[in-house]
Amino acid sequence: MPEFQSVRGFHDLLGEDLRKFRHVSQHLREKLKLYNFEEVVLPVVEYLEVFQRSIGEVTDIVQKEMFAFKDQKGRWLALRPEGTAGAVRAYVQNRLYALKPHVKLFYEGPMFRHERPQAGRYRQFHQIGAEVFGSIDPLVDAEIIQLVYEFLSELGVPSVIEINSIGCRVCRPAYRVALKEYLEGVSEHLCQVCLDRKDRNPLRVLDCKVPTCKEAVRGAPKMVDFLCQDCTEHYAKLKEYLQLLSVPYRENPYLVRGLDYYTKTVFEAVSPELDMTLVAGGRYDYLVEELGGPPTPAVGFAAGLERLSLLVKELPREEPLYMVLPFGDVMDYALAVVKSLRSEGKRVELSYKRAGLKKQLELANRLGVSYVVLVGEEEKAGGFYLLKDMETGQQVRVEFNPAL
Ligand code: HAM
């Protein structure tokens, strides 16, 4: 084993994995463009308070998973564990609210969480996230979910979209009380972590993966039964729009999220194959204000690129590869052929190996070359080259005169 290994949970992305990763990213970026989102490139590091204030003090991310450190001046900074907090900070700092009634941004990049690594869960992972600022209309929530649905279907990744409403400042407090009361009653079945959560952040108990906790919350009160009129109407409209848009969804009354900023709509696209969430998001109508901006409702989502890449079974065929094989004192001519083919947009490899035809063809086969271009002294003198199709073995003569 080499002396140096990458840090646990931090990975090199290369080869086929990277091609799948880029395929996913490119596909989502194209989709975002069609929905008229504009890209922002956000810093990887923010002041720690930005995350504490947005994600919430009593969340796993803030309490256990942050890569936080002090800079030379003693200020607490953190590697971003997600993109929404930074996007909101940027929206406020750059006064984007002054420009347009609503603003649609997307970002792509690495995120960092100190979680227990496993397949599909890493300490450095990548997200593409999108946020719409400035509209309270459930139509925006529906469009966001529609975008996610179209993206996943077109990518060929099977998933189930779950939705829920987790209410607002008006209706959630009463639900918390009712849920807490219920959890007291089943507390002997809760895990150690949930015993603490039930007092500090009871909604998170609904999301616990421990089997006894899952069982214990089966009969828990549901947020949908506590929604105020505004949230009830918002949720009903969302469902109406999703039906109108033919977006299939499943209501999950116990769907909650691991971040505290959400209000009203929350949703997740879950992969049955991985038993993991691929894309997740929701509405967060108070966060802009909490980070110092004017009251601005917002809604967004983020997609985990590694998880999605794991589910890409087939990549589109790559452009055919050409390989130019020079024989004899013909490098000037061979270089001109290479240049000309590349200028036509072809993917071209120049053989660096000086060997006989048989060896060169073997090498071309190993490299997955579709066409070899044979350039020898006779070809140079005659102003042509031989183009050989490696699959059929057919060879054609192509006129080529670099001086023309
Ligand atoms: P999140 O659910 O924490 O939401 O993360 C979104 C997605 O990032 C997950 O569904 C998953 O695909 C991926 N992900 C999260 N943690 C890991 C990990 N350790 N390894 C690999 N992939 C991971 C958010 O981050 C919110 N900011 C989403 C949002 C945007 N809500 C509103 N706007």
Q: For every residue of 293-330, which 3-state class applies, written as one string?
A: CCCCCEEEEEEEHHHHHHCCCCCCCCCCEEEEEECCCC
Instruction: Tell how far the Cα of 189 is from the centroid of ligand 1, in angstroms.
Output: 29
**Domain enclosing residue 304, as ranges:** 15-171+227-310
- Among 259, 290, 310, the domain-final residue is 310
Q: Are residues 300 and 335 in the same domain?
A: no
**Ligand 1 center from residue 365 Cα (angstroms):** 41
Chain-centre distance for alpha carbon 67: 20
The verdict on the CB of residue 267 being under 6 Å from ligand 1 is: no
Contacts of 149-152 with CB under 8 Å at 24 or more apart are 149/247, 149/248, 149/269, 150/31, 151/27, 151/28, 151/31, 151/279, 151/303, 152/269, 152/278, 152/279
Residue 280 alpha carbon to ligand 1 centre in Å: 6
Q: What is the pLDDT of residues 16-47, one digit of tens each?
A: 999 999 999 999 999 999 999 999 999 999 99
For residue 232, being part of any structural domain is answered with yes
pLDDT at position 402: 82
Positions of the chain with pLDDT under 50? none
237 and 377 both lie in a single domain: no
| Angle of the 84-93 helix axis to the 48-55 helix axis, nearest 10 | 110
CA-281 nearest atom, ligand 1: 31
Total structural domains within the chain: 2
Which of 13, 25, 125, 264 for a ligand 1 pocket mutation test, highest count of atoms within 8 Å of Cβ? 125
Residues 385 and 236 reside in one and the same domain: no
Say which CATH number the domain at 240 has.
3.30.930.10
Q: Are residues 248 and 386 in the same domain?
A: no
Cα(205)–Cα(200) distance, integer angstroms: 10
Give the position, in ligand 1's atom list, of the atom nearest the Cα of 113. Answer: 19
Q: Is residue 211 part of a domain?
A: no
* pTM of the complete model: 0.95
Report whether 219 contacts 157 (CB < 8 A): no
Residues 29, 108 share a domain? yes
Distance 127 CA to ligand 1 centre (A): 7
Domain shared by 303 and 361, yes or no: no
Ligand 1 geometric centre to CA of 129 (Å): 9
Cβ(302) – ligand 1 distance below 6 Å? yes
Assess whether 237 and 339 both reside in one domain: no
Q: Which ligand 1 atom minimizes the distance to the CA of 120?
A: 21
Do residues 233 and 370 both lie within one domain?
no
Counting from 1 in the atom list of ligand 1, the atom nearest the Cα of 269 is 10
Same domain, 161 and 295: yes
- 187-193's contacts with Cβ under 8 Å and 24+ in sequence apart are 189/213, 189/215, 189/216, 190/216
Q: Do 274 and 358 sit in the same domain of this protein?
A: no
Do 38 and 165 share a structural domain?
yes
Ligand 1 atom 15: residue of nearest CA: 304
Length of the chain: 404
Assign residue 333 the CATH number of its domain: 3.40.50.800
Domain check: are 272 and 368 in the same one? Answer: no
How many Cβ atoms sit within 10 Å of the Cβ of residue 331? 12
What's phi and psi for 187, nearest 5 deg?
-60, -25
Residue of the nearest CA to atom 18 in ligand 1?
A: 121
